[in-house]
Structure 1
Amino acid sequence: MDWLTSLFTVHSSIQTVVIISVIIAAGLALGKIRVMGISLGIAFVFFVGIVAGNIGMSIDKVTLDYAETFGLSMFVYCLGLHVGPNFFGSLRHEGMMLNVWSLAVIVLGTAFALALSPLTGISIPVMTGLLCGATTNTPALGAATQALAHAGLPSSDTALATAVTYPLGVVGVIIAMVLIRKFFVKPADLEVKKLSDDNHTYIAQFTAINPAIIGRTIQQIALMTHVKFIISRIWRGKQVLVPVATTELHVNDKLLVVTNKEDEQAMTLLFGKKENDQDWNKEDIDWNAIDANVESRVCVITRPSLNGKHLGALHMRQAYGVNVSRVIRGDIKLLASDDLRLEYGDRITIVGKHENLDNAEHFFGNSVKTLEEPNIGSIFLGIVLGLILGSIPLSLPGMESPIRLGIAGGPIIMGIIVGALGPRLHLISYTTRSASLMLRKLGLSLYLACLGLDAGKDFLSTVIKPEGLVWVGIGFLITLVPILIIGIIALKAHRYDFGTICGILCGSMANPMALGYANDTLKGDTASISYASVYPLGMFIRVVIAQMIIMFFV
């Protein structure tokens, strides 16, 4: 049986794979267990790693560092790539204010932790670890340990402090939400207030009776207003037309118009009369049953050369005799205006005659099988660029040595840039949801397993010491105090419902487990919406703050 024992005790490449795989498999399995409706999910990999390290399991130190670095860089890059397309859009309008509240939580928590350091006598590296654990932000811990390594300082106590405080960091957010709901939330605060609509299109039928547009072409009418619209069909008596730019409108033409909801009144003034006989925005409308000669079809852009091109530059009406009415990107429905920049993977709704739709479909590609193949090569290229970005020394005023974004900050910024701006540079950044989730979970699992294994050897001896218990208590305060203060203030402002506030708090603390609790106990999906809006920027700021604390105060 020595051969079996050696798989766990003798350092080798096989032993490394076995140890890490066992930790990840056990952690993910135990993470599904719910206690009082709460489960730790992937975070349990971290604790299984701690247990494994505490009972004497170990792997080669160089290999451990490699696996940990690779896992973290893969996770943060793929996360940046995932949120990139909607990242800058979320900073506008309501998303900007959501991030302001999230930033308030982050700033208050950081200031509170720094103020506790001289009061408690806890060193800055350890307090940084407590802050990372209290905010359940393992990428921030990765940034802090990298900054300590650049400074030539040990990081074992920092990782250990995170391990000690992480459990109550998870539970603390949930406890804070429970306290706020019990003592401060009124019934009106539980009513869902929708932040935004993912459907940026509105379909309505109008009758052309405005004398100013009769006899004019659609192109001429479009120049008469700043409002964007698409006329997908025209009913002229018993005839159904697929309009083009040169189509002239006649009196009493029935127009099926796609525009923005807020422009409905402007469209009524432009065309003359809005018909209210049917709701054209229902999900169950069979568009192909409206008329036998005109069809509606959804095509997927899988032709690489179309990535990043403006829709208007394709001249779909003139070249193929079809109208593009809507573009669906992820879960967002976009108005198919000429200035819309297309992205690989967009779903295009086209309207026209059957043979014309066949030609247009071939032009777009519409190969679902191709779309399902993840762009692994571009992901690894992005990781390389992210690591290069993270290694660039940045000199800031007041700092003796330059700061680096590191393996956590560089890849996530590169991921956001590629995800958001890739189509403008004609780079295909599309990755299937399943592939993105798989890579993120794989990267984070590798990182947490190695991190826990490295910190586990000293975990138990630290917890049973008096300072270990102090660390747990301080970490719990760092979690609870900022959330309670900002959460109550946001609630008293009466701007958001309680679900939205919970999403802000969970996102600012990078706590998906607490978000799951909020979703299970609250109506609507406002918690998830606000969480997604603040999580990318909040996590990035915490990653930078962790390094800044080490560089400025150590």
Structure 2
Amino acid sequence: MIALSSVIGILLGAIKYKGVGLGIGGVLFGGIFMGWLAQELGWIPNFSGDSFKTILDNGGDVVKNAEAVGKVHTFKEILHYVKEFGLILFVYTIGIQVGPGFFASLKGAGLKLIGYAVLIVFLGAAIALSFNVFFDMNLDSTIGIYAGAVTNTPALGAGQAMIKDLVDGMAAGAVPAGFDANNVASAYAVAYPFGICGIIITMLLIRFFFKVNINAEGEKYELQKKSNRKDLDTQNVSVNNSELFGLKISDISVLKGNKVICSRLKRGDILMVPKADTVVYAGDILHLVGNDADLNAACGFIGEPVQVSLTTKGTELSVRKIVVTNEKILGKTLDSLEIKSKFDVAVSRLIRTGMEFIPHKGTTLHFGDQLNLVGRKESIDAVANIVGDSTVAMQKVHMLPVFIGLFLGMMLGSVAIPVPGLPAALKLGLAGGPLVVAILLSRFGHNITFGKMHWFMPASGNSALREIGIVLFLAIVGFNSGASGFVDTLVHGDGLTWMGYGVFVTFIPIFICGILAYRVSKINYLSVCGAMAGSMTDPPALAFANGMYKNSEASSLGYATVYPFTMFLRILTPQLMIVIAYALMSK
């Protein structure tokens, strides 16, 4: 039944109208259908009502009744286990994916986007909480509407887990109305559809009201990107400073540090890879690598920039990127490999987690590092044999660090923070703990090595584990909801009311913040659209934003900038809402 729920849901999510569809959210509705069908046809124990009491009140053989109760209990325990395991896989792989860029996003223009995303999160939570405070809506329905309206599955998991903890901490018979985890899932499912399309509608409304020219916004982003670019650059400089004639490369002060490196030297018609003891003479042309400011300073000291090509084409030298995959050299320094002295190959730059920097002798090598090498082809091949450069190794998922990370995440999520007056303590839970640990491990894990173990996870493996996790979670959330009377709630209960409330939670925060970001803070419209999609953790909305302009970098970067903060806050806010609501309820 779990598999059938997943199959139906994935097929349903693949249906699109003008590029818009439910995406992975279709699995939720596939589960609802299967849960309803299984209940109607009697394939599963009765989920609705007080199952245990109903069975026992029917009289008859006590042993058979006890067996029936056991079947209901076992069935629910299986579903609960698979659902929680799916959630853990999902949030952990999200953390691994966004972790490397998480801390880099905490500077520059990204701070404004993060600020607006935080405002969207808390404004939505405040609107949802007002339903409980001012309109006497049950707390479980409020949490479900909030999670569904912002299309955030971990928020659903966090809300359900805390309500369950509250119920478990209360005395028998003291559980008030509005503390049913199944109602959380039902309200989530009802509010979810508009949450999917509401963000897209908001993008279109802002574009219509302010007559946004998409091409102009795209070109503006490209120009801004070039002006702000701080990646490594190159410069060719002629040695004209007489004080440097006859000096070794290692004795030139501007080349001693880690800011500028000389990767090629041309003397007459000869192009070579300079070593530390290579002597420079008047008229030598050095190919320098560094950022603009450091390059300008070095060129001013050495001589004059020249527009001479130092290309390796037609020479014995070549340029090639290789990837560190050999587990035997992980943690070793570049100096210990003696790449330049043994092989006459220069490492002009190193790329790690998408960031370029100048390597130095003490730079330690991590799995997945990309080295830009300059040298003879056979020499580069020899270096590649040492560092690995294996595409097969880059696609392999090492499961030991995955499960160590999952274990640490579950431990962190289980740390309880007591809140006075609340039966259950506040904690990150299974939705928050693995996320935080994954972000930290993916960013700083290369500093923690145990033999051959590393924390790198290839994109394909990460995507597979993430999709398996979210499909299992949504399928069972939907199945439980469908088996517990979702259809009846929608048709005869409060379903339509919940849907209407969900529209407010979805639309108002992103519409207000979208206008403020674009008009007041003057942030690029494409970046704003990506950030709005990220603030709702909504991949279908990101896909729509990416399709607006030929280059999707602006919207994708906006999404990635706010996503980690948003995901963390989306997990935390349902728990804060429950704490506040319970405190008000106790007065």
TM-score, normalized by the shorter chain, greater than 0.5: yes
- Once residues 237 and 420 of structure 2 are traced to their aligned partners in structure 1, the CA distance between those partners, rounded to angstroms, is 61
Matches within 5 A, 1:140-539: 140-152=155-167, 153-187=179-213, 189=217, 191-194=219-222, 200-222=231-253, 228-277=259-308, 288-292=312-316, 294-311=317-334, 314-329=337-352, 331-338=354-361, 340-395=363-418, 401-426=424-449, 428-457=454-483, 458-465=485-492, 467-525=494-552, 526-539=554-567
Measured at CA, do residues 24 and 315 of structure 1 come closer, stay the same or move farther in structure 2, by a change above 3 Å? Answer: same
Residue number in structure 2 paired with 1:15: none
Residue number in structure 1 paired with 2:114: 99
Deviations 1:197-236 (A, max 9, x none): 7882212322121334333333332457867122111001
Of the three residues 99, 122, 133, the one matched with 1:84 is 99
Instruction: Verify the 8 A CA contact 2:238 2:306 in the aligned structure 1.
Output: yes
Deviation at 1:414, TM superposition (A): 1.1
Instruction: Verify the 8 A CA contact 1:200 1:335 in the aligned structure 2.
Output: no
- Once residues 540 and 397 of structure 1 are traced to their aligned partners in structure 2, the CA distance between those partners, rounded to angstroms, is 23
Measured at CA, do residues 424 and 330 of structure 1 come closer, stay the same or move farther in structure 2, by a change above 3 Å? Answer: closer
- Once residues 557 and 388 of structure 2 are traced to their aligned partners in structure 1, the CA distance between those partners, rounded to angstroms, is 32
Residue number in structure 1 paired with 2:30: 48
Measured at CA, do residues 273 and 391 of structure 1 come closer, stay the same or move farther in structure 2, by a change above 3 Å? Answer: same
Deviation at 1:238, TM superposition (A): 2.4
- Once residues 252 and 245 of structure 1 are traced to their aligned partners in structure 2, the CA distance between those partners, rounded to angstroms, is 19
Q: 496-505 or 255-264, which moves further after superposition?
A: 255-264
- Once residues 101 and 253 of structure 2 are traced to their aligned partners in structure 1, the CA distance between those partners, rounded to angstroms, is 29
- Once residues 400 and 185 of structure 1 are traced to their aligned partners in structure 2, the CA distance between those partners, rounded to angstroms, is 52
Deviations 1:501-552 (A, max 9, x none): 0011110111111111111223432111110111111111110112222234
Deviation at 1:396, TM superposition (A): 5.5
Instruction: Verify the 8 A CA contact 1:229 1:337 in the aligned structure 2.
Output: no
Identical counterparts, % of pairs? 33
- Once residues 381 and 447 of structure 1 are traced to their aligned partners in structure 2, the CA distance between those partners, rounded to angstroms, is 21
Measured at CA, do residues 363 and 398 of structure 1 come closer, stay the same or move farther in structure 2, by a change above 3 Å? Answer: farther
Measured at CA, do residues 537 and 337 of structure 1 come closer, stay the same or move farther in structure 2, by a change above 3 Å? Answer: farther
Q: 229-238 or 161-170, which moves further after superposition?
A: 229-238
Deviation at 1:454, TM superposition (A): 0.6
- Once residues 27 and 423 of structure 2 are traced to their aligned partners in structure 1, the CA distance between those partners, rounded to angstroms, is 37
- Once residues 574 and 196 of structure 2 are traced to their aligned partners in structure 1, the CA distance between those partners, rounded to angstroms, is 19
Q: Which amino acid aligns with 1:321?
A: D
- Once residues 132 and 25 of structure 1 are traced to their aligned partners in structure 2, the CA distance between those partners, rounded to angstroms, is 24
Residue number in structure 2 paired with 1:16: none
Deviation at 1:493, TM superposition (A): 2.5
Instruction: Verify the 8 A CA contact 2:324 2:370 in the aligned structure 1.
Output: yes
- TM-score normalised by the chain length of structure 2: 0.84
Residue number in structure 2 paired with 1:121: 136
- Once residues 519 and 565 of structure 2 are traced to their aligned partners in structure 1, the CA distance between those partners, rounded to angstroms, is 24
- Once residues 190 and 74 of structure 1 are traced to their aligned partners in structure 2, the CA distance between those partners, rounded to angstroms, is 36
Deviation at 1:54, TM superposition (A): 1.9
Deviation at 1:333, TM superposition (A): 4.2
Residue number in structure 1 paired with 2:55: none
Gaps of 5+ in 1: 1-18, 281-286
Deviation at 1:96, TM superposition (A): 2.8
- Once residues 510 and 343 of structure 2 are traced to their aligned partners in structure 1, the CA distance between those partners, rounded to angstroms, is 56
Instruction: Verify the 8 A CA contact 1:199 1:333 in the aligned structure 2.
Output: no
- Once residues 293 and 142 of structure 2 are traced to their aligned partners in structure 1, the CA distance between those partners, rounded to angstroms, is 50
Deviation at 1:150, TM superposition (A): 1.3
Instruction: Verify the 8 A CA contact 1:185 1:491 in the aligned structure 2.
Output: no
Q: Which amino acid aligns with 2:574?
A: A
Deviations 1:477-514 (A, max 9, x none): 11000011000011113532111000111101111111
Partner SS, residue 321 of structure 2 = strand
Instruction: Verify the 8 A CA contact 2:320 2:374 in the aligned structure 1.
Output: yes
Deviation at 1:250, TM superposition (A): 1.5
Q: Which amino acid aligns with 1:392?
A: V
Instruction: Verify the 8 A CA contact 2:546 2:555 in the aligned structure 1.
Output: yes
- Once residues 470 and 132 of structure 2 are traced to their aligned partners in structure 1, the CA distance between those partners, rounded to angstroms, is 30
Instruction: Verify the 8 A CA contact 1:192 1:524 in the aligned structure 2.
Output: no
Partner SS, residue 464 of structure 2 = helix
Deviation at 1:400, TM superposition (A): 6.2
Q: CA RMSD in A?
A: 2.5
Residue number in structure 1 paired with 2:170: none
Deviations 1:27-74 (A, max 9, x none): 222222211221221111111111111223566211111110111101
Partner SS, residue 159 of structure 2 = helix
Partner SS, residue 454 of structure 2 = coil
Deviation at 1:398, TM superposition (A): 7.7
Deviation at 1:340, TM superposition (A): 4.9
Q: 432-441 or 353-362, which moves further after superposition?
A: 353-362
Q: 516-525 or 468-477, which moves further after superposition?
A: 516-525
Instruction: Verify the 8 A CA contact 2:249 2:255 in the aligned structure 1.
Output: no
Deviations 1:402-457 (A, max 9, x none): 21211110111111111011101125111111111111101111111011101113
Partner SS, residue 556 of structure 2 = helix
Partner SS, residue 235 of structure 2 = strand
Instruction: Verify the 8 A CA contact 2:28 2:474 in the aligned structure 1.
Output: yes
Residue number in structure 2 paired with 1:21: 3
Matches within 5 A, 1:56-75: 56-57=38-39, 60-75=75-90
Measured at CA, do residues 409 and 477 of structure 1 come closer, stay the same or move farther in structure 2, by a change above 3 Å? Answer: same
Gaps of 5+ in 2: 45-74, 168-178, 583-587
Q: Which amino acid aligns with 2:37?
A: I
Q: Which amino acid aligns with 1:162?
A: Y
- Once residues 342 and 485 of structure 1 are traced to their aligned partners in structure 2, the CA distance between those partners, rounded to angstroms, is 46
Deviations 1:373-417 (A, max 9, x none): 211222122112211111111246786642121111011111111
Deviation at 1:185, TM superposition (A): 4.1
Instruction: Verify the 8 A CA contact 1:422 1:429 in the aligned structure 2.
Output: yes
Instruction: Verify the 8 A CA contact 2:418 2:426 in the aligned structure 1.
Output: yes
Instruction: Verify the 8 A CA contact 1:217 1:248 in the aligned structure 2.
Output: yes
Measured at CA, do residues 133 and 350 of structure 1 come closer, stay the same or move farther in structure 2, by a change above 3 Å? Answer: same
Instruction: Verify the 8 A CA contact 1:506 1:531 in the aligned structure 2.
Output: yes
Deviation at 1:306, TM superposition (A): 3.5
Deviation at 1:149, TM superposition (A): 1.4
Residue number in structure 1 paired with 2:57: none
Residue number in structure 1 paired with 2:64: none
- Once residues 421 and 497 of structure 2 are traced to their aligned partners in structure 1, the CA distance between those partners, rounded to angstroms, is 32
Deviation at 1:298, TM superposition (A): 2.5
Instruction: Verify the 8 A CA contact 2:162 2:424 in the aligned structure 1.
Output: no
Instruction: Verify the 8 A CA contact 1:308 1:425 in the aligned structure 2.
Output: no
Q: 452-461 or 389-398, which moves further after superposition?
A: 389-398
